[in-house]
Structure 1
Amino acid sequence: MVVFKCDIEKFFAIEEWEIQIDWCLGEMAQEIEKISTEPARIKNLEFWQLYAGIHQTVDGCFSGLINGIECCRLQAVDSSFWNISGSMEFEKHMERMYGTYVRPSA
Structure 2
Amino acid sequence: MVIVRQHGEAGQLLDISSLLADVDCFFRTDQWQISVESCLGSNALSVEEASFSGLSLSDSEFRSLYRGIYQTIDGRFCGFGEGQRLFELLVVDSSYWEVTGTPAFEAHILATYGAWVQPQ
TM-score range relative to shorter protein: over 0.9
Summarize deviations over 1:31-69 as a string: whole Å, max 9, x none. 111110111100001101111111111110000011222
**Residue 97 of structure 2 aligns to a residue in which SS?**
strand
1:49 matches 2:64:
yes
**Given residue 24 of structure 1, which amino acid in structure 2 is its aligned partner?**
C
- Which residue of the partner structure matches residue 70 of structure 1? 85
Gaps of 5+ in 1: none
**Given residue 32 of structure 2, which amino acid in structure 1 is its aligned partner?**
W
Aligned length: 105
**Residue 30 of structure 1 aligns to a residue in which SS?**
helix
Gaps of 5+ in 2: 1-15
* Dislocated runs of 4+, deviation >2 Å: none
1:40 matches 2:55:
yes
Identity of aligned residues (%): 36
**TM-superposed deviation, 1:24:** 0.4
- Which residue of the partner structure matches residue 94 of structure 2? 79
CA distance in 2, matches of 1:94, 1:24: 22
CA distance in 1, matches of 2:58, 2:77: 12
**TM-superposed deviation, 1:89:** 0.3
The structure showing larger relative contact order (alpha-carbon pairs under 8 Å, at least 6 residues apart) is 2
Q: Provide the alpha-carbon RMSD of the alignment.
A: 0.7
1:25 matches 2:40:
yes
Q: TM-score, normalised by structure 1?
A: 0.96
- Which residue of the partner structure matches residue 102 of structure 1? 117
Q: TM-score, normalised by structure 2?
A: 0.85
**Residue 52 of structure 2 aligns to a residue in which SS?**
coil
